[in-house]
A and B are shown apart, each in its own frame.
Chain A
Amino acid sequence: MDHLTILENKSIFIIREAYYRFKNIAMLWSVGKDSTTLLWLVRKAFFGKVPFPVIHIDTTYKFPEMYAFRDEYAKKWGLDLIVGSNEEQVSAGMGPKKGSKLDCCNELKTNALKQIIEKNGFKALLLGIRRDEHGIRAKERVFSPRDDNFKWDYENQPAELWDQYKSTAEEDNHFRVHPILHMTELDIWKYIKRENLPITGLYLSKEGKRFRSIGCVPCCNPIESAASNIDEIIHELETTHTSERAGRAQDKEDAYTMQKLRSLGYM
């Protein structure tokens, strides 16, 4: 069995485990390459269907291309799309320039997500995070429990072996499930190519620059790149020495911003 098929099977197994355990489940779709890959894997797991809601957390600072892509594929793939914003903070003018970046991410992403989970009573969320993205994400489990305060207890994570994932304990509010944790950035692009998946044009080079990781407009910087199609992106990644999230401003604020964000319930 080839490398990409092994990775795909691992993801599909995890997605099906999560759906067996939690009927009240949803997935997070940021419209980026990773969660779009995850969405495709969900369709594969359920023979073309997506049997649960797909959540887009809208900070209102996303790229226009992302909104257009979201609406196009939500329609094409028949998704039950839930768009969630922290309305109160958005109206109050929260932004990366108003507070710290940590506050902005925490209010507009994490707290927006909290509101949606509470409103819908979701018991599990599928997320497209990967171990090679960030040192903190490398420490994650596939099934990661969160308590009522949404805290990630990274100092005391449950054991996880042989594809047996932790059952629900009394104090578990919900689970974060990570079906593509084992994939690398390069795997994702090779898989996108093999499966001929759609992606937003933001990843492709225009006038010598492209985005390697996308999120909110004010906190994303493009990289110098001539890669204007997927083959060229794959070639670029095979030779690069820069890390994927180098253009993401929230990671840079201090050495542990990502850890702090994640322990508060960030994706």
Chain B
Amino acid sequence: MEERSLHLVIVGHVDHGKSTLVGRLLFDTGSLPPEKMEDIKRVCESMGKELDFAYVMDNLEEERSKGITIDIAHTFFMTKKRRYVIIDAPGHKEFLKNMISGTSQAEAALLLVDISRGIQDQTLRHCHILSLLGIKQVVVLVNKMDLVDYSESLFKDVEERIGTVLAGLNIKPSFIIPLSASKGENVANKTEKLSWYGGQTVLEALDSFSTLKVEEKGLRFPVQDCYSFDGQDIAVGRVEAGSLKKGQEVFILPQKSKARVIEIKKFQEDDMAVAPTGDCVGIITEGVKLKRGNIVSDDTRSDITDTIRANIFWMIDKEYKLGIPLTFKCATQEVQGRIERIYKRFDPAQLEVVENDSSVIMPAEIAEVEIKLDSQVTVDKFSDIPELGRFVLEHAGYPVAGGIII
């Protein structure tokens, strides 16, 4: 059994069966405690409904009475290969910010398409979000095959259409699987009714995925805070890319001054030789006094700039008008600014540009923009170093958009 768990998000249009699939995965892998099953049976009976697996994830009273998912939930199941953390994301447009919050934590995605309804608005929107968030491992699940009498030709048709949409967004689905989540067909167990398919079940497909590997890259250590303990100045942070070594000569960005790493430490580990990607450590440096927002780097390839060109996705239900002030948050950097140009904006549910050179971004739209900041920041392209190439925009203390630097 692998030690790490894989984070998996389930997305798709409302009512295409996301919560039901989650319930089914938990049930078929024996991950549902008996009293949870009893609890679900009780709730369903009290509402006069048949047993519905969706109630495993939909825990809020409003979710159960309205039969929709409002916010993300996390749950856990296990196969022989590894543990999975499932993130069930809502399929309604109005809960887009919740869907994005969930998807941003995932290493792989299951995209559900109801074969009886085909590709719908949120199917397309979610494909775009997967692409923008950089989710590479995607499985398309063509659900509710029982409603179309397990028709191979209808499946082939949807398979081709969704494949085309995803190809346009640079996503190559790892698998496209026909199934029925409510009947438990092709989730953990194969079925005779889909004998023409002959490919993997959902669980087999999942077990073929890999947890994200850390790639060799240049060092990026954004300083989170500085403490003065026992007469020593310690700068703390997380190694976002590359590795940090004792004795190393580094650049302090954005000012590009030089410094040397004298000590790397953790509690009860006073003298570390190296801190790998992902490690939260404290460092003592010689040369420059560090502060939050500094990026400690071993190269000068990052962009030091006050102008950001990016694709952003607008998450709140109020539009943006050019010039409205925003806070730009990237790693531990936080700078005031505003969008100065909207090159183009489009509705990802329609797959076409709504307007070029616009002065407004509407709710749930994606836009290519230029952001002007009040001071310089250190950034990388999302495709080079994602941790320094993605950001969140806030207005009046609320996150309003996410973006990736192009």
State the A residues within 8 Å of B (CB): 1-3, 5-6, 9, 12-13, 16-17, 19-20, 43-49, 131-132, 135-136, 138-139, 141, 154-155, 157-162, 164, 166-170, 172, 184, 241-243, 246, 255-256, 259
Contacts and interface: CB of A to CB of B under 8 A. Distances in A.
Contacts of A166: 394, 397-399
A160 B402 CA distance: 10
Interface of B is mostly: mixed
B394 A242 contact: no
Contacts of A259: 59-61
B238 A47 contact: no
A243 B229 contact: no
Nearest to B88: A138
Q: Which of B4, B101, B234 has the most CB of A within 10 A?
A: B101
A12 B304 CA distance: 28
B242 interface: no
B123 interface: no
Given A170-B396, A259-B61, A243 B265 contact: no
Contacts of B33: 241-243, 246
Interface in B189-221: 214
A45 B238 CA distance: 12
A157 B266 CA distance: 34
Contacts, number: 144
Contacts of B224: 13, 16-17, 20
A242 B399 CA distance: 38
B394 A167 contact: yes
B73 interface: yes
Contacts of B396: 169-170
B315 interface: yes
A1 B227 contact: no
Nearest to B390: A162
Nearest to B400: A159
Contact of A157 (B5, B98, B104): B98
Interface stretch (B166-174, B275-283, B342-350): B275-283
B71 A162 contact: no
Given A12-B280, A16-B224, A141-B101, A155 B62 contact: yes
B74 interface: yes
B76 interface: yes
A9 B238 contact: yes
Interface string B12-42: 0000000000000000001001111001001
Interface string B143-184: 000000000000000000000000000000000000000000
A197 to B, nearest CB: 13
Contacts of B391: 162, 164
B329 interface: yes
Chain A to chain B: the 6 pairs with minimum beta-carbon distance, closest first: A169-B397, A135-B59, A161-B104, A159-B97, A164-B392, A138-B73
Contacts of A13: 224, 238, 280
A17 B236 CA distance: 10
A47 B267 contact: yes
Nearest to A155: B70
Interface in B36-77: 36, 39, 42-43, 57, 59-62, 70-76
A6 B4 contact: yes
Q: Which of B70, B74, B97, B234 has the most CB of A within 10 A?
A: B74
A158 B317 CA distance: 12
A166 to B, nearest CB: 6
Contacts of A246: 33, 35
Contact of B227 (A47, A157, A158, A167): A47
A30 B238 CA distance: 29
Contacts of A44: 266-268
